[in-house]
């Protein structure tokens, strides 16, 4: 089914202002970082196309519009109508401001599907949309199991930050009851009394990651327009919706019946305006109240406790792919899985057998005695010398790999020259870098155009022109 045939959902891809995990190494915009054999922006567009979308609003910054447009046009496999919307190059211009810009340019007319430019996903969007439809939700957010940290992260070692998100779900319906950051918790997690009364069972999850894929009701846009202080969708709008949902519509009844303690009543004063914007059609409310439907057990309360704002989570299956390229670790991981991901994004057409994508471009020159693993990708016009070994790695276009070199679990970008006898493991080599004879790199980041001297050895280092390096 094509969602936009009936204009049920409008797809919005946010590709402006996203900082790159490799911004200190290479000047390429995040959306154009190479993953496998395509720029990163290819993956959300291809995913939308596979799920039946034929039109998409692509939000880009003024400085990257031309570059992104050329890159997308060069990808013949993207057969989707793209409406580019430019926003200013301003660090203070947030994602919520981008949504307001879409409104001001009269681009929005239905419920929204908002996704980031850095998502690589194979989910069936119908499953996510069904959660949104069944509960007539204000928000449906996609969560996926957090990426394993077993693999070594290349570059200089840094202290781990506690940035996990902790969410509370109603176990049966997956209603999103609460959301908070681990960094915001001092000693213990506080849960308000009225939430525990309504939801005696709350499943607290710290192993799920917000994929930044949101289905939002059209009225949420009205709320954004009414409150210009909301700057970002993820950090400000979503937490506010999750918090305010429990106070929506039935608030007057709750207060008049003393259901909230005096200390809690002040939290509802600013909810009235949101209630008016989110008010449901009286006929819909009456139909639900007269039916036998309920989303919870153990009491005689109305469905959804009478809330007009309802937030739900779709938890992606563990076997699915749903990764965001937001860090060096995730950039490495998606490239290690690039061969598998590309197979998933190119399903067989009806009546055809599953497509097998070539791991080596026909224009690449691979020596007959070179060994290239099935889980590696070789770019066009790249030369692979005799007795070279490539395993679980991605090598870009126009690269030269010298004889007897070994490359394992690494990302080699475009126009890189690697001399003979080099050993490269778990590293990212940015474009136009030159690795000279017999150099050894383990878990390193090499910046754009950097030259690694002959016979040098580095481990867990970040190599850029600004660094003064000591060979070991």
| Residue from 462, 408, 440 nearest 158 by CA | 462
pLDDT, position 118: 92
pLDDT, position 25: 76
| Residue from 116, 310, 84 nearest 212 by CA | 116
pLDDT, position 337: 86
pLDDT, position 414: 94
pLDDT, position 222: 87
Q: How far apart are CA 175 and CA 206, in angstroms?
A: 16
The separation between CA 441 and the C-alpha centre of its own chain, rounded to angstroms, equals 30
The tokens describing 397, both together, are: 């276009």
Q: How far apart are CA 320 and CA 325, in angstroms?
A: 16
pTM for the structure as a whole: 0.85
pLDDT, position 155: 78
Q: What is the mean pLDDT of each run of 10 residues along the chain (472 residues)?
A: 63 85 80 90 94 95 93 89 93 90 93 94 94 92 82 71 82 91 83 86 92 94 89 92 78 41 44 62 62 61 74 93 88 87 72 62 93 92 96 94 96 96 95 96 94 95 66 30
The answer to whether 188 touches 180, Cβ cutoff 8 Å, is no
pLDDT, position 470: 32
Helices 338-345, 328-336: axis angle to 10 degrees equals 70
List, in order, residues 6 or more apart from 312 with CB less than 8 Å away: 131, 132, 135, 137, 139, 140, 141, 173, 174, 175, 176
The answer to whether 360 touches 343, Cβ cutoff 8 Å, is no
pLDDT, position 343: 80
Name beta bridge partners: 9: 111
């Amino acid at each position: 089914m094509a969602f936009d045939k009936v204009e049920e959902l409008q797809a919005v891809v946010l590709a402006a202002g996203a900082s790159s995990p490799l911004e200190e190494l290479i000047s390429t915009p995040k959306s154009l970082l190479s993953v496998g054999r395509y720029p990163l922006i290819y993956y959300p567009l291809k995913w939308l196309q596979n799920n039946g979308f034929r039109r998409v609003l692509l939000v880009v910054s003024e400085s990257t519009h031309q570059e992104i447009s050329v890159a997308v046009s060069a990808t013949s496999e993207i057969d989707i109508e793209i409406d580019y919307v430019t926003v200013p190059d301003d660090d203070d211009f947030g994602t919520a401001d981008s949504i307001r810009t879409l409104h001001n340019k009269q681009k929005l007319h239905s419920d929204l599907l908002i996704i980031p430019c850095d998502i690589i996903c194979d989910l069936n969007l119908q499953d996510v949309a069904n959660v949104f439809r069944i509960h007539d939700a204000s928000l449906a957010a996609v969560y996926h199991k957090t990426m394993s940290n077993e693999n070594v992260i290349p570059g200089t070692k840094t202290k781990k930050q506690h940035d996990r998100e902790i969410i509370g779900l109603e176990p049966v319906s997956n209603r999103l009851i609460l959301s908070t950051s681990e960094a915001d918790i001092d000693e213990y997690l506080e849960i308000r009394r009225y939430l525990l009364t309504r939801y005696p069972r709350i499943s607290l999850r710290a192993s799920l990651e917000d994929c930044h894929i949101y289905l939002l009701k059209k009225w949420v846009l009205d709320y954004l327009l009414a409150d210009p202080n909301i700057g970002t969708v993820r950090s400000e709008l979503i937490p506010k919706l999750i918090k305010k949902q429990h106070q929506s519509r039935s608030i007057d009844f709750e207060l008049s019946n003393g259901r909230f303690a005096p200390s809690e009543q002040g939290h509802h004063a600013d909810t009235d305006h949101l209630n008016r914007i989110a008010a449901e059609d009286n006929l819909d409310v009456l139909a639900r109240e007269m039916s036998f439907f309920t989303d919870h057990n153990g009491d005689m309360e109305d469905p959804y406790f009478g809330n007009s704002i309802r937030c739900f989570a779709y938890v992606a299956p563990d076997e699915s792919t749903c990764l965001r390229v937001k860090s060096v670790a995730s950039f490495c991981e998606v490239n290690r899985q690039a061969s598998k991901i590309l197979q998933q994004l190119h399903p067989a057409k009806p009546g055809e057998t599953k497509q097998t994508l070539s791991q080596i471009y026909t224009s690449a020159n691979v020596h007959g005695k070179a060994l290239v693993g099935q889980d590696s990708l070789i770019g066009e016009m790249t030369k692979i010398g005799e007795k070279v070994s490539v395993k679980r790695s991605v090598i870009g276009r126009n690269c030269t790999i010298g004889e007897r070199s070994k490359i394992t679990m690494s990302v080699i970008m475009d126009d890189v020259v690697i001399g003979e006898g080099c050993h490269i493991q778990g590293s990212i080599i940015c474009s136009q870098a030159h690795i000279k004879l017999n150099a050894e790199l383990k878990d390193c980041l090499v910046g754009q155009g950097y030259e690694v001297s002959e016979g040098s050895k580095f481990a867990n280092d970040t190599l850029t022109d600004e660094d003064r390096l000591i060979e070991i």
